[in-house]
Amino acid sequence: MEKVKIGVAGLGRLGKIHARNLAFKIPGAELTAACSLLESELAYAKNELNVQDCYTNYDEMLAKADIQAVAIVTSSGEHCKQLAAALDAGKHVFCEKPLGITVDECFAAEKAVEKHPEKVFLLGFMRRFDPSYVYAKAKIEDGAIGEPYLVKATGVDPLKYIEGALKFAKTSGGLFIDMAIHDIDLMRWFLKSDPVSVYAVGSSYGFPQFAEIGDAEAGCALYKFQNDAMGIIHTGRTAAHGYHIETEIVGTKGSIRISPVPQKNLAILYNEQGVVTECVEAFPERFDEAYRSELQYFIDCVLTGKTPEINVYDGTRSTQIAFATTRSFKEGALVHIQYSD
């Protein structure tokens, strides 16, 4: 079977997951190179993944490694310049979300992708590959709920990992940019439209440290879409029971709810504590299958020349909407969203 030789950039929390999948679980992929700022992470690539071609300098990997594609899983501020460099070096690109951390950066990324139409570019909005979301989308396309007019999305990180959230809060871009971007993408996907206005609120209830840096521990945003549909996002960092990702799509003839009880599996425990359903712990567990499917899709696109459905413009739009949401939260006012292209 023909294999796509690929290098991974970034071997942190998510980079290790993608690298392991590319090394062992994606037919058609061959992980042949890796890059990280940290020697300790490169030791992981060498010892655990048997990748010997390792770099601490990304440009050096692009210049020297025998690869046709890169998976960019570095810190968000690196994505736009790294994807442009990879495309210029003749590589296909899978890039983690967010596309960029400023809207101007996203516009520059659009130009870089447009310059290389012969190369595959896929942005990592992995929820679109999760089996339950894929099922919901297919049902909606089949007319199972009539015309969808409202998406209600909840995305709350586990309280268990609050220390990490506090540590990264200053550089995360804020609650709505860091956390809500997946829900923003899902609203656009299900409603087939872009929001024209947003009103967002938020505050800090148990952890004043977020308010002290101008951020929020939890927040809500209400959107009105171009096609008159509505969106509601509730996002936060302190779900006591685990990782709570829930989405409801309401239509003229019914509705679909995805994981209203974000349970670990189908088992239910009956004991002295009552009837207990354990919650999924964090994103690697919840989206394990989606992470594999999105990379399989990327490799299939490279092998067949197919153009991915998720494109660079989805990355720019979701970033624009996340910034407008943050502005509304900070100004305490309704924000009309302008899409200057």
Ligand X SMILES: NC(=O)c1ccc[n+]([C@@H]2O[C@H](COP(=O)([O-])OP(=O)(O)OC[C@H]3O[C@@H](n4cnc5c(N)ncnc54)[C@H](O)[C@@H]3O)[C@@H](O)[C@H]2O)c1
Interface with ligand X by CB under 6 A: which residues?
Answer: 9-15, 35-38, 41, 58, 73-76, 78, 96-97, 124, 126, 283, 287
CB of 98 to ligand X, least distance (A): 6
CB of 274 to ligand X, least distance (A): 32
Task: List, in sequence order, every residue forming a beta bridge with 246; answer none if it has no partner.
Answer: 154
DSSP 123-184: EE-GGGGSHHHHHHHHHHHTTTTSSEEEEEEEEEEEGGGHHHHHHHGGGS--HHHHTTHHHH
Taking each helix axis as running N to C, give the angle between helix 131-141 and helix 288-304, from 0 to 180 degrees, rounded to the nearest 10.
Answer: 70
Cα 290 from chain centroid (whole Å): 11
CB of 178 to ligand X, least distance (A): 7
> What are 53-58's contacts with CB under 8 Å, separation 24+?
53/7, 58/9, 58/82, 58/85
Nearer to ligand X, 103 or 144 (CB): 103
Nearer to ligand X, 3 or 160 (CB): 160
| Cβ–Cβ under 8 Å, residues 66 and 53 | yes
Q: Provide the token pair at 325.
A: 């949401």
CB of 42 to ligand X, least distance (A): 9
CB of 70 to ligand X, least distance (A): 11
Nearer to ligand X, 82 or 251 (CB): 82
N-term to C-term CA, the chain? 42
Nearer to ligand X, 225 or 287 (CB): 287
Q: Provide the token pair at 22.
A: 């590319």
Separation CA 305–CA 287 (nearest Å) = 26
Nearer to ligand X, 159 or 230 (CB): 159
Task: List, in sequence order, every residue forming a beta bridge with 72; answer none if it has no partner.
Answer: 9, 95
Separation CA 72–CA 99 (nearest Å) = 10
| Cβ–Cβ under 8 Å, residues 176 and 182 | no
Nearer to ligand X, 98 or 148 (CB): 98
Nearer to ligand X, 119 or 286 (CB): 286
Nearer to ligand X, 287 or 297 (CB): 287
> What are 108-115's contacts with CB under 8 Å, separation 24+?
108/80, 108/84, 109/79, 109/80, 109/83, 109/84, 109/312, 109/315, 109/316, 110/312, 110/313, 110/316, 112/80, 112/83, 112/84, 112/87, 112/88, 113/83, 113/87, 113/311, 113/312, 115/87, 115/88
Q: What are phi and psi of 273, to 5 degrees?
A: -85, -5
Nearer to ligand X, 91 or 225 (CB): 91
